[in-house]
Structure 1
Amino acid sequence: MKPYFLSLLTVWLLALNYAHGSIRRDLRNIQVAQMDGEYKIDYNAKEIVFIDRESSFEDVLRCQKDSGKLLTYTEDKEFIACCARDQNLLGSADTAFDCCYPDQHLTGSHNTGYRCCLKGQIYDGTCHDPKPNCIEGKILVNGKCVCPSNMVETHDGHCRPLYSPVKCEPDVYEGRCYILRMDNGLLLGQDKNGFYSTSADSYAHSFGKFRFCKTMVCDGKSAINPDEEIYVLDMHGQYKNGENGAYWIDKGVRGDPLGTTSSSNNAGSFSITKWELGKHCMSGFKQGLVSKASLLGFVSPNSQACLPMALIEVPCDIHDPMNNCRWTKNPDRGADKLYAPFVSQFGN
Structure 2
Amino acid sequence: MSQDSSLQSPPDIAALRRFYPDLAGYGDIRLVTLGDGAERGVRVLEIRSGGGLELEVIVDRGFDLGRLALNGITVSWHCQNGYRAPWLLNPFSDKGQGFLRANNGFLSTCGFDHIRQPETDALDDRSSFPNEAFDYPLHGSGAHQPARLISYGFEEDADIPYFWCEGEIVQTMQFHGSLRLRRRLEVPIGGQQISMRDRVVNSGPTVMSHMMLYHFNIGHPLVAEATEIDVCNGRQIWGQGDPLSAFPAPQSEQHNSLSVFAMDSEAENGLCTISNPHNGLQLELEFERQSLPFLQLLRMTGQGTYGIGIEPCTTGQRSRSDARTASEMVFLKPGDHRTYNFNIRLNATQPGRSGTVS
Normalising to structure 2: TM-score of the pair?
Answer: 0.22
Greater C-alpha Rg:
1
Hey, which of these two has a bigger chunk of strand by percent? 2
Normalising to structure 1: TM-score of the pair?
Answer: 0.23
